[in-house]
């Protein structure tokens, strides 16, 4: 068919398929053995001498995420075009992503560890406690001190305090039901089963009640220049909650938006933050909040706002973008989430007035406007999240319309 | 109907008005050959669901559709007992004074009293030809449902405590679609062949329009498709999908339009754009200038 024929010279296609799967794994695409077998099975059905059909078969069997498709294409071209005979050395060359990090002991105590690991954990904890001998008063001062005035040592100490904070978010009622003993909806399936011994007479009633689940949380964190003094510790805070809660999506923005959810899965806080700062190019640059929120709305809202999440927007509101864009996008964001909370570190200062254009444009569309400048404010935020109430707040969309007109 | 080559399948799809390019056809072909579920992702309105419908029509097989929503559970997807009939049966047994009451009571948990929901229907033995099972918009269901699907999709069997295991003699053809409103779990993805459907090229979309809206004039459909492609270059909240192109062409044909004019576009924008902001943006840019870009 095309030049492909010459590229499979010795007919040992199987070896090549396995080697190619290996190459894909090296580039960071997760390919399971079953998937490789599927491809081999698929080759019985597609004309393998046609390069494009072979590519299509490999694509639909080996790749299962859209993000991986471009990498797959590059790897495919690399492997099957340059290849005229299998050379194991090939496998070592194209490493797109970094190899897995060395295994580290988890620092957070696990809920249910198995018995014999228990002692290790205690030892580890004790060791750490020695490292940070915080007296009560020191910890107390730290709780009220503004993040912006932290020294490096205090940032380190604060990490420990952050870890001790428990994060809980008010659960959301789902459409699933589970069996219950309290009166609710009658559970016919169980009812009939249980009452068979009474000849099918419904004597013992069985019920079903709605199940509750944790509400998702989406965090958008400003890391532009004006937030410089706060962003490091706030990122640590974001890291803590994304490890403490089940369903957290995290983004950072300056002039543009970057999704950092996966980076924050890294258990070690320092490594996670290092990874974030490596990937985020506009660290400490200017701010265009409106554009960032707009990007979020267009590219991500449909994917992460599906299940009534709480959205935390962390920013000081210093915006160099167009306030009208910000107002419009905030309105859309507020409509598509359960609750929109704006955390502003400047709000910790009693003399602070949200007078910047950006803040003014955004204010009508915020459900809660809270400070986030010290540990106490974080604790208050935690309390707030834990009791949001079963109904979402009344939205001031009409007032919002007027503000757009004024701006 | 069995297909021995990808070409054959492609032609058969085209004969049933589904225009698929070669890579997509290859994925469908392999899904049929390897008897693996096909997971289709892509923006709304690019023709994911249509593939399942076409496969069923083309092979004269039954289409079983499971529209996903949050809270799907065993009762709504696999089976439920027919309680009313069971109750009546119990009364009947009492009234007749059956000799062996215990055996009689067992009887009410027999297949006769079972209401089969889509997933159980799909693996039933009674099918002459295995059906096509469409699990539509799986991203709307919750993770528990996905976990449950894992077992079904790898073993093609379902166990019902009162009856036993029901196993498909021939696995159904399974098409799963997702709009990516959330990430599907990798474990499920790996059991499927995966294909991402993009917006079609201009030529392909024109072929689709010609196949689906035969009444439209050649000139009109070419203009419509070109205009939609121009819209997709804009920064809109919801880009129009193929479904919208088809709707719009149908609407314009119903209005007896022979070609696009600025007025006509203004009046019918709602058929392609589904957000007020988007409509305002397109109006603001000027429909006329867009039409000029298309070359009219």
* CATH code of the domain covering residue A354: 3.40.50.410
Integer Cα distance of B209 and B250 in angstroms: 9
Q: A188 and B6 in contact by Cβ < 8 A? A: no
Is the domain of A206 the same as that of A250? Answer: no
CA angle A213, A219, A223 (to 5 degrees): 165
A32 in a structural domain: yes
Residue B207 — very low, low, confident or very high, per pLDDT cuts 50/70/90? very high
Report yes or no on A300 lying in a domain: yes
Write down the pLDDT at residue A284.
Answer: 62
Q: What is the pLDDT of residue B49?
A: 95
CATH class given for the domain over B6-74+117-197: alpha beta
CB pair distance less than 8 Å for B6 and A196: no
Structural domain span for residue A254: 217-390
pLDDT in tens, chain A (407 residues): 444 444 444 457 788 888 899 999 988 898 999 999 999 999 989 887 888 899 999 999 999 998 899 999 999 988 877 655 444 444 444 434 433 333 333 333 334 434 444 444 444 444 444 444 445 556 667 777 788 777 777 777 777 777 777 788 888 888 888 888 888 888 888 888 888 878 777 888 889 888 888 889 999 998 887 887 887 788 888 888 888 787 899 998 877 788 888 888 776 777 777 777 777 766 666 678 898 999 999 989 888 888 889 999 999 888 888 888 899 899 999 988 999 999 999 888 888 888 888 888 899 899 889 998 888 888 888 888 888 876 777 665 544 444 333 32
Residue A285 is predicted with a pLDDT of 64
pLDDT above 60 (res B149): yes
Question: For residues A187 and B28, which has the higher predicted lDDT (pLDDT)?
Answer: B28
Q: How confident is the model at residue B36 (pLDDT cuts 50, 70, 90)?
A: very high
Between CA B275 and CA B239 the distance in angstroms is 10
For B179, nearest residue in chain A (alpha carbons): A303
pLDDT in tens, B103-131: 777 788 888 899 999 999 999 878 888 99
Residue-wise pLDDT for B166-204, tens only, equals 888 888 999 999 988 888 888 899 899 999 999 999 999
Does the pLDDT at position B101 exceed 70?
A: no
**Looking at the structure, do residues A289 and A338 belong to the same domain, yes or no?**
yes
Using a CB-CB distance cutoff of 8 angstroms, which residues of chain A are in contact with residue B239? Answer: none
- Residue B95 pLDDT class (50, 70, 90 cuts): confident
Asked whether the predicted pLDDT for residue B226 surpasses 90, the reply is: yes
* CB spacing of A56 vs B22 below 8 angstroms: yes
Per-domain residue ranges of chain B: 6-74+117-197, 80-111, 202-294
Same domain, A314 and A373: yes
Domain boundary among A37, A56, A82: A82
Question: How high is the pLDDT of residue B27?
Answer: 96
pLDDT at A405: 32
On whether both A191 and A224 belong to a single domain, the answer is: no
pLDDT at A5: 44
The answer to whether position A407 is within a domain reads no
* In a shared domain, residues A329 and A237: yes
A257 and A298 share one domain: yes
Chains A, B: CB contacts within 8 A come to 110
Residue A185 and residue A47 share a domain:
no
Q: Which of A82, A106, A135 is the last residue of a domain?
A: A82
- With CB atoms and an 8 Å threshold, state whether B190 touches A32: yes
Domain count across chain A: 3
Sign of the four-CA dihedral A188, A194, A199, A205: negative
The minimal CB distance from B30 to the residues A32, A42, A63 is found for A42
Tokens of A55: 């590519």
The rounded distance, in Å, linking the Cα atoms of A323 and A83 is 55
Residue at A89 is within a domain: no
Please choose, from the candidates B15, B14, B17, B12, the residue with its C-alpha nearest in 3D space to the C-alpha of residue B1.
Answer: B12
Q: What is the pLDDT of residue A267?
A: 67
Query: pLDDT: is B135 or A99 the higher one?
Result: B135
Q: Which of B72, B154, B139, B14 is nearest to A305 (CA)?
A: B139
Domain assignment present for residue A309? The answer is: yes
Range name among A103-112, B28-37, B76-85 with the lowest pLDDT average: A103-112
Same-domain pairing of A198 and A231: no
CB contact under 8 A, B179 and A302: yes
Stretch among A25-34, A307-316, B146-155, B210-219 having the lowest mean pLDDT: B146-155
pLDDT at B252: 94
**What is the distance in angstroms between the Cα of B147 and the nearest Cα belonging to chain A?**
15
Distance of CA B72 to the CA centre of its chain: 17
Say if residue A244 is in the same domain as residue A188.
no
**B182: chain A residues, CB-CB within 8 Å:** 303-304, 306-307
- Within 8 A by CB and 6+ apart from A376, the residues are A143, A144
> Which of chain A's residues have a Cβ under 8 Å away from the Cβ of B5?
47
Note the helical H segments in chain B.
6-15, 22-34, 48-58, 74-77, 83-96, 101-107, 118-122, 143-155, 186-190, 202-212, 218-233, 242-254, 262-268, 276-285, 287-294
Tell whether A280 and A252 lie within a shared domain: yes
Instruction: Specify whether A197 is located in the same domain as A231.
Output: no
Does one domain contain both A264 and A332? yes
Taking an 8 Å cut-off on Cβ atoms, the answer to whether B237 and A45 are in contact is no
B94 vs A contacts (CB less than 8 Å): 199
Say yes or no for a CB contact (<8 Å) between A303 and B181: yes
The CA-based dihedral angle spanning residues A77, A82, A83, A84, taken in that order and rounded to the nearest 10 degrees? 140
């Amino acid at each position: 068919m095309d030049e492909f024929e010459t590229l499979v010279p010795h007919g040992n296609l199987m070896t090549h398929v396995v080697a190619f799967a290996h190459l894909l794994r090296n580039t960071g695409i997760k390919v399971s053995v079953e998937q490789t077998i599927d491809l081999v099975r698929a080759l019985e059905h597609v004309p393998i001498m046609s390069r494009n059909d072979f590519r299509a078969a490999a694509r639909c069997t080996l790749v299962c995420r859209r993000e991986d498709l471009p990498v797959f294409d590059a790897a495919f071209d690399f492997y099957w075009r340059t290849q005229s005979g299998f050379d194991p050395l090939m496998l070592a060359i194209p490493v797109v992503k970094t190899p897995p990090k060395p295994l580290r002991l988890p620092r957070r105590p696990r809920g249910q560890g198995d018995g014999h690991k228990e002692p290790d954990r205690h030892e580890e904890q004790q060791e750490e406690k020695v490292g940070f001998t915080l007296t009560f008063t020191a910890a107390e001062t730290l709780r009220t001190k503004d993040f912006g005035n932290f020294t490096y040592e205090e940032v380190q100490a604060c990490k420990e305090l952050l870890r001790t904070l428990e994060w809980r978010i008010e659960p959301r009622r789902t459409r699933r039901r589970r069996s219950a003993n309290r009166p609710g909806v009658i559970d016919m399936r169980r009812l009939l089963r249980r009452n068979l011994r009474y000849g099918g007479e419904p004597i013992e009633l069985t019920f079903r009640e709605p199940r509750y689940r944790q509400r998702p949380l989406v965090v958008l964190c400003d890391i532009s220049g004006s937030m410089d003094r706060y962003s490091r510790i706030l990122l640590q805070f974001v890291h803590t909650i994304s490890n403490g809660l089940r369903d957290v999506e995290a983004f950072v923005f300056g002039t543009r938006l970057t999704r950092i959810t996966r980076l924050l899965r890294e258990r070690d806080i320092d490594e996670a933050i290092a990874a974030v700062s490596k990937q985020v190019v506009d660290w400490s640059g200017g701010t265009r909040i409106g554009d960032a929120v707009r990007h979020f709305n267009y590219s991500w809202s449909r994917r992460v706002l599906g299940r009534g999440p709480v959205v935390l927007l962390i920013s000081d509101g210093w915006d160099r973008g167009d306030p009208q864009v910000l107002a419009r996008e905030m309105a859309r964001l507020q409509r598509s989430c359960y609750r929109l909370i704006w955390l502003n570190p400047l709000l910790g200062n009693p003399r602070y007035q949200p007078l910047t254009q950006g803040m003014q444009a955004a204010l009508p569309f915020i459900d809660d406007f809270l400070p986030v400048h010290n540990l106490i404010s974080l604790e208050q935020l935690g309390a707030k999240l834990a009791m949001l109430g079963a109904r979402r707040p009344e939205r001031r969309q009409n007032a919002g319309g007027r503000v757009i007109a004024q701006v | 109907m069995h297909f021995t080559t990808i070409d054959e399948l492609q032609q058969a799809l085209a004969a049933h008005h589904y225009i698929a390019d070669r890579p997509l056809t290859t994925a469908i072909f392999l899904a049929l050959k390897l008897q693996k579920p096909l997971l289709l992702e892509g923006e709304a309105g690019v023709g994911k669901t249509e593939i399942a419908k076409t496969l069923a029509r083309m092979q004269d097989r039954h289409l079983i559709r499971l529209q996903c929503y949050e809270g799907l559970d065993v009762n709504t997807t696999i089976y439920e007992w027919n309680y009313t009939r069971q109750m009546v049966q119990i009364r009947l047994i009492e009234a007749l004074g059956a000799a062996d009451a215990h055996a009689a009571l067992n009887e009410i948990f027999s297949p006769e009293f079972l209401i089969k929901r889509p997933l159980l229907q799909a693996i039933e033995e009674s099918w002459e030809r295995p059906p096509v099972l469409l699990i539509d918009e799986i991203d709307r269901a919750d993770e528990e449902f996905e976990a449950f699907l894992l077992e079904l999709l790898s073993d093609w069997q379902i166990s019902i405590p009162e009856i036993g295991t029901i196993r498909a003699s021939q696995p159904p053809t399974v098409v799963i679609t997702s709009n990516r409103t959330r990430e599907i779990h990798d474990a499920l993805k790996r059991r499927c062949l995966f294909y991402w459907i993009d917006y079609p090229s201009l030529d392909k979309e024109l072929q689709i329009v010609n196949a689906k809206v035969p009444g439209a004039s050649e000139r009109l459909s070419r203009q419509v498709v070109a205009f939609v492609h121009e819209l997709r270059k804009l920064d809109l909240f919801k880009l129009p999908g193929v479904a919208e192109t088809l709707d719009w062409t149908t609407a314009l044909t119903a209005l007896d339009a022979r070609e696009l004019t600025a007025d006509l576009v203004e009046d019918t924008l709602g058929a392609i754009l589904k957000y007020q902001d988007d409509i305002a943006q397109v109006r603001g840019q000027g429909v006329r200038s867009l039409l000029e870009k298309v070359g009219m």
